[in-house]
Amino acid sequence: MNENDFKRYKKIQIYGFIFVSLFILIICFVIGYLLNRNYTLERKYNDLNDKVNSNLSEISNFDYEKDEAEFIDLEEVAFKRELKVLPDGEEYPDKQRIYLTFDDGPGKYTNELLDILEEYGVKATFFVIYQPNHEEEYRRIVDNGHTLAIHSYDHSYKKIYKSVDGFKEDIDKTYDFLLETTGQEPLFYRFPGGSSNTIFKGNKNDLIDVLNDKNLVYYDWNCDSNDASKKALSSNQIANNVIKGIGNKKEAIVLMHDTNAKLTSIEAVPLILDYYMEDDNVIFLPITETTEPIQHVKKK
């Protein structure tokens, strides 16, 4: 090896060394960058995950345990039991009209409910079923000036919605029973499950024809207390659902239940009435012939 060769060899060695060092440096840099990025992304992911989880828990709590701030404290509402003007066939066009309706009764709490309504001077509507041991309650509903209306004979979807004949038979039996018990012809009807139920597979027009033939007007609702939900609700929760459901509706038909299993529904009634008692723009009415029907399904 001469001197020139040696110099060239040395040069290649130095360049090689620089090249390898640079290469290692770049690799280290890239690895460092990737690790850092991974860490940042992981942190962002965790933050987002926390946010999503807290939102999800808010959503899942929403139905049952509403945010405290959103909850109307019914204890705070001033207590003033002034009798409301009793309905006398007027339409009260300037007032917000609330129609409390109670399905599936009478039951063991009906008298308690009637006592409460009497105490507040409020009239309501009862969509009843056949309960042979509660004949006094049917009569008291009528005598107290509430509206007694047909819901069903035995509330068996299977029988009622099996056929048009089954539907008619259920209504006829209830109609005759109520007429016999109270001496008054029923004028109003509520479909078990509502007019929009999907249990009946035939043409709904046929069912509506049966009602028309009997001169029965059917009413659904535009405010659901949700007291028929699987989870038993407290009276406070039911009253909250009703008050929020009524909102600013000019006419609110409120769905509630009056059965042996629904004591909290009855206990919710004074909470609801207390809330509106001082509001002169609100009137509670029973369904009468002047009440605008709320119907989820209409005859086509």
- Residues in contact with Zn ion by CB under 5 A are 103-104, 192
- Residue 66 or 173 with smaller CB distance to Zn ion: 173
Q: Which residue, 251 or 258, is less far from Zn ion as judged by CB?
A: 258
Tokens of 132: 């042979």
> What is the number of other CB atoms lying within 10 angstroms of the CB of residue 121?
15
Least Å distance, CB 295 to Zn ion, is 16
Please identify, using beta-carbon distances, which residue of 210 and 277 lies nearer to Zn ion: 210
In the complex, the smallest distance separating the C-beta of residue 156 from Zn ion, rounded to whole angstroms, is 11
Give me the least distance between CB of 64 and Zn ion, in Å please. 23
CB atoms within 10 A of CB 200: 21
Nearer to Zn ion, 258 or 267 (CB): 258
Which DSSP string corresponds to 76-96?
TS----PPPPPPSS---TTSE
Q: How far is the CB of 154 from Zn ion (least distance, A)?
A: 11
| Structure token pair of residue 34 | 């990737």
Beta pairing partners, 254: 100, 223
Smallest distance, Zn ion to C-beta of residue 257, A: 7
Give the nearer residue to Zn ion in terms of CB position, either 84 or 262.
Answer: 262
Q: Is 26 exposed, middle or buried (0-12, 13-18, 19+ CB in 10 A)?
A: exposed
Across-strand partners of 126? 102, 148
Distance CA 126, CA 189 (A): 10
Handedness of CA 130, 135, 139, 140 (dihedral sign): negative
